[in-house]
Structure 1
Amino acid sequence: MRILVFSPEKPYSGAESIVSVKFIRLLKNHGHEVVFVYHDRDFQYKSREDVYNIMSNGVGIENKILKNLSNKLKKVPLLNRIYLLDTLFWIFKAMSFGLKYNKKSNIDIIFSRVMPIYGHYPAFFLKIRYPKIRWVSNWSDPLPKVNAPIPYGKGLKGKPFFFEKYILENFFKICDFSTFPSDRLMLYYQKFFHSIQGKSYVVPHIVLDVKHTKKSINRNRPFVISHLGGFGLRSPVLFIEAFRSFNDMYPNHNIVIRFIGPSEETVNEKIHQLELSNLILVEGVLPYEKTLDIIQDSDLLMIIEAKMEEGIFLPSKLMDYLQMNKPILAISPTNGILNDLISNYGGGIIVSNSSKNELIDKLKFILENQEFIRNCKNEFDSTRLKALFSEDEVYRGLNHILSI
């Protein structure tokens, strides 16, 4: 089957692009001919993994003049909007490539992936031009942004711009299928886009079937809890405060925290204020391949979610953690997808992201159960959880769409 994928983020520029690369790899591993179009820019994250395999059929679209102007004028009011011209250029060139590729090879199916949202535009125009080509749009975050759950947006009561809502409604009407990484996100979309009901599916993120040599456990080293990625609204401040209290109660503990990702001033200030710089290590952004090594060297991997009434997001970092067979510490809403998964399939522990006392209690529990955690015993065994996101399991669900 000939498949064209529009995914603006260049590999391996961040979470969205890493998810897309894994998706493309899954399609190729099952014998599909895949070409993907991305926005070729310079990014902070880089990796050689799969580059020759994945990017051999990749098409990077870039206008260096617009890119340079965007960089130079990004702090100038009004003129900083020139990045929109760069976006329009990409949409036009991506659509032009799609037209040429279809004339040459007869596309069977188009996948468009976000974020950013403009990844859907070339697919939208190609579907209008060639109605018989199937189009599957993927949605990893709520749109319009104003309708994202609080604190990311104003929830279902938010009032989006007319044009944004109009475009999204047309996307959903014209595309053949819409996919979402979690059932909760899919149901959230269905609350304000009724046209996707009956043609929406859950296609979760993928845990690659990659074998890793298990390192021997050095029980004399500190017990390491690591968090990978940025924070933003997923603030670790409550956890840091709980860790300070835990440290006061158990001054001889052996737990060390590692934060790998963009440095954030409020986080650094809190760590310094509470005199935890020797126990909470902020290590900045690292290449994707290096983060996999850090996961392997850690004992427990942390996910922090924003305070929401319902956790509808499936964090992509969960797949990297599971790929290395590591247990999870999920600091999440009690009503949410991570709570559902860990409660039903094991693989770690869940704790409310609203209670400092619960966090202290869980840190005490971790201190007392380090051997079970390091050996992935009992509730820390991630085997069943990992199986949900295996390549075979995800493709089984995806194949239903491909075969219709």
Structure 2
Amino acid sequence: MKILFIACYSPLINNSASIETLQYLNNLAKFEENEIHLLTVNFPPNSIYYDEYIFSMLDPRIKLHIISGGIIFEKIMPKKKKGEVVTEVNKLNLKIKGLLRKIKKIFAVPDMYLYWAINASKYGVRLMAKENFDVMFSMHEPPSSHICAYKIKKNFKSLKWIAYWSDPWLKDSTRDSSTLIRRKFEGYYEKKIVNLANKHIFVTKANRDDYIKTYNLKKDNTFIITRGYDDKVYKEIEKNEIPKLINKEKINLVYAGEIFSKLRDIRPFIKAINKMKNENGDLYNKLNILFFGNIDNNEVKEELLEIDNVKVSNRIPYNEALSYMINADVLLLFGNKNSKQIPAKIYDYFGCYGYILVILGDENDPIIDVVNDLDKCSVSKNNDESIKNSIIEVCDKIIKNEKSNQVEEYEWENISKRLDSILRED
């Protein structure tokens, strides 16, 4: 089976979507009869997003087609310089910085990759004519992956196209403040894409049900597949030295991921920790709390830094983040509010031996369907009292030396077999 795999976020970079792409690619490549071509965005080695370790994990049998994101994309992409993160924008004065932000806001519709989608689709049309693929598979997020696939499909109506929806598009809570013109543009494309694709894969039941209702999809043409973890990679990392910020004399709580304040409110967590300091000082002093990843609200970041048993670090390479997760006693997960999206980090956590503390985004958080019946997971509402009690409960298990196991059903090999069978179906 010849597969044209389209994803803006590829193993060239380090984020949740790129890890997902990596695993699907590698596991699909294990089927000897599969030939896979990846059409993706160029993130050069001097980009802060480029991750050499993740890229080195990509199966060499994958044929790469890497297309530039365009001049504007190249200009505003944050760059590395002598070990420091700088950008081309930082070299300009504040007036030009403001102008570039306005340009980004105007042109980043539906995301920063629309120019790429247009050029990559032209390349893809030529590639399709040459390779005669059996199936095309495109991954959202971001939406431009689907736009690229849509433009290719219009030229080859008989080409089987499976669209993967990791999140909602138009109904994503991060797009609530979009202008009417932008919503119309994106709504036009979403409808066209949904109607032209042959099949759709979703990560959550809530998102699938919403798309079925909104676009009158046949349920038989929709599927649910989750992310997973690669046990072989975990076993290799376990052989390495314990990361320097892990303190084996304490209970290590680790969060590895982004904090977007519009989606994830961590202030109740901060209040809970401060409450513990006043009410349960002995347990508080046993905690070593580590945050890895960008936090978009500086006030929240400062509040975290004021807590003496909390350390906050910027984005770290994937293998280093995995090492911290694997050596954690408790893995923190903050659900998304007003969203049908599940943080992909939960599936990385399922491969670790630590307990998982899930803090719900709101009462409708779809992650509850994934974690509710798992002994490994302790679920808390997002208020300080509930979080405090959940921390005490899970720490009590650790103090009593109770063990938590991996959740084997989410191992990548099992999940990818399901994807391969969907791609093969008529």
Aligned equivalents of 1:343, 1:128: Cα separation in 2: 42
Instruction: Determine the structure 2 residue equivalent to 1:59.
Output: 65
> Could you list the runs of 5+ residues in structure 2 that have no partner in the other structure?
78-88, 90-95
Match for residue 120 of structure 2 among 66, 84, 94: 94
Counterpart contact for 2:73–2:112, Cα < 8 Å: yes
Count residues with an aligned counterpart: 387
Structure 1 SS opposite 2:140: coil
- Counterparts of 1:218-297 in structure 2, within 5 Å, are 221-232=249-260, 233=262, 234-253=264-283, 254-263=286-295, 264-272=297-305, 275-276=306-307, 278-297=308-327
- Counterparts of 1:310-325 in structure 2, within 5 Å, are 312-325=340-353
> Could you list the runs of 5+ residues in structure 1 that have no partner in the other structure?
none
Match for residue 51 of structure 2 among 46, 54, 59: 46
Instruction: Determine the structure 2 residue equivalent to 1:366.
Output: 394
Aligned equivalents of 2:231, 2:97: Cα separation in 1: 41
How does the TM-score come out when normalised to structure 2? 0.81
CA 82–338 in structure 1, closer or farther in 2 if over 3 Å, else same: closer
Counterpart contact for 1:137–1:175, Cα < 8 Å: yes
Please report how far the alpha carbon of residue 29 of structure 1 lies from its aligned counterpart in structure 2 after TM superposition. Answer: 1.7
Counterpart contact for 1:182–1:313, Cα < 8 Å: yes
Deviations along 1:126-171, whole A, 9 cap, x unmatched?
2121122100111122121xx335x7638xxx99733322221111
CA 89–164 in structure 1, closer or farther in 2 if over 3 Å, else same: closer
Aligned equivalents of 1:4, 1:400: Cα separation in 2: 15
Matched, 1:192 2:214: yes
Q: Identity of aligned pairs, percent?
A: 18
Instruction: Determine the structure 1 residue equivalent to 2:27.
Output: 26
Aligned equivalents of 1:197, 1:79: Cα separation in 2: 41
Matched, 1:352 2:381: yes
Structure 1 SS opposite 2:99: coil
CA 219–172 in structure 1, closer or farther in 2 if over 3 Å, else same: closer
How does the TM-score come out when normalised to structure 1? 0.85
Aligned equivalents of 1:185, 1:44: Cα separation in 2: 28
Q: Which residue identity is paired with 2:26? A: R
Deviations along 1:98-131, whole A, 9 cap, x unmatched?
2232222210010111222111122112212112
- Counterparts of 1:383-398 in structure 2, within 5 Å, are 383=407, 386-396=408-418, 398=420
Counterpart contact for 2:199–2:221, Cα < 8 Å: yes
Q: Which residue identity is paired with 1:266? A: E
Please report how far the alpha carbon of residue 22 of structure 1 lies from its aligned counterpart in structure 2 after TM superposition. Answer: 1.3
Q: CA RMSD in A?
A: 3.0
Counterpart contact for 2:350–2:410, Cα < 8 Å: no
Please report how far the alpha carbon of residue 345 of structure 1 lies from its aligned counterpart in structure 2 after TM superposition. Answer: 3.3
Matched, 1:76 2:99: yes
Aligned equivalents of 1:83, 1:342: Cα separation in 2: 35
Aligned equivalents of 1:64, 1:123: Cα separation in 2: 18
